[in-house]
Structure 1
Amino acid sequence: MGTVHVARVYDRASLPEGRRFLVERLWPRGVRREDLELDGWVRDVAPSTELRRWFGHDPDRWEEFRRRYTAELDAAPGAWRPLRDAARAGPVVLLSSARDEERNSAVALRDYLLAHR
């Protein structure tokens, strides 16, 4: 399996090489669609609206968020398998708009994909 990177959509000038996928349910604020070079927008792999709102990027809820998000991913393999398959062919960049670069859904998704090689 190739490398799976996580990057912020707002850091377009320094994005790693690889196929780029937006893994957010909502389009990032302040980003024009024509300015973001994507290989795909994979909305269905993002956490549910309920889970995203519950988490609210609260660091104290991170571990429980990961557990709940993993359960959502386990229940929807059709959503994440295309990303895993792309990563098998080469490097992949999971793009998100989260401010916290260590505790966000793209990081949890990367870890999940790497565990499901």
Structure 2
Amino acid sequence: MIRVKRIYEPPSSDDGVRILVDRLWPRGISKDETKVDLWLRDVAPSDELRRWFSHDPAKWEEFKSRYFNELRNNPKVKVIIEMLREGKTITLLYSSKSPYNNAVALREYLELLLS
């Protein structure tokens, strides 16, 4: 099972493996209070793609297409896929206030790979 959660929300017992998928550590939050099990900054979109997208809903579909292309050859995706195949619940953590973010897109990408 793949969950998506904003890192500023409190951890819960049903989160499973908590994976931060942002390139930068979120502002104003300590590593101790977040209960991050794994920080996979390399699965975040490239800086160029992130700046181009800028959480613009009108660019969402194109963003996902470009981001999925970046993920295709990313070895860190295999780490997440292995956990899911082992039956682990994972929670993809992100810091953005926007519902249009890389964690949501990454969940969609992972679900496509597993289907």
TM-score by length of 2: 0.92
1:31 correspondence with 2:29: yes
Residues 1:15 and 1:61: Cα distance change in structure 2 (over 3 Å): farther
Alpha-carbon offset, residue 15 of structure 1: 7.4
- 2:82 aligns with one of 63, 80, 85: 85
- Whichever residue aligns with residue 109 of structure 1, its letter is L
Pairing of 1:10-25 with structure 2 (within 5 A): 10-13=8-11, 16-25=14-23
1:110 alignment counterpart: 107
Calculate the aligned-residue CA RMSD, in Å: 1.3
What SS does the aligned partner of 1:21 have?
strand
**Structure 1: runs of 5 or more not aligned:** none
User: How many residues were matched structurally?
Assistant: 113
State the alpha-carbon separation in 2 of the partners of residues 11 and 31 from structure 1.
11
What SS does the aligned partner of 2:62 have?
helix
Identity %: 45
- Whichever residue aligns with residue 92 of structure 1, its letter is I
Alpha-carbon offset, residue 38 of structure 1: 1.5
- Whichever residue aligns with residue 42 of structure 2, its letter is D
Alpha-carbon offset, residue 39 of structure 1: 1.4
Alpha-carbon offset, residue 13 of structure 1: 4.8
What SS does the aligned partner of 1:112 have?
helix
State the alpha-carbon separation in 1 of the partners of residues 30 and 67 from structure 2.
28
Q: Are the aligned partners of 2:11 and 2:34 in contact in 1 as well (CA < 8 Å)?
A: no
What SS does the aligned partner of 1:95 have?
strand
**Structure 2: runs of 5 or more not aligned:** none
What SS does the aligned partner of 2:67 have?
helix
State the alpha-carbon separation in 2 of the partners of residues 84 and 39 from structure 1.
16
Residues 1:35 and 1:22: Cα distance change in structure 2 (over 3 Å): same
- 1:52 aligns with one of 50, 58, 82: 50
- 1:74 aligns with one of 67, 72, 75: 72
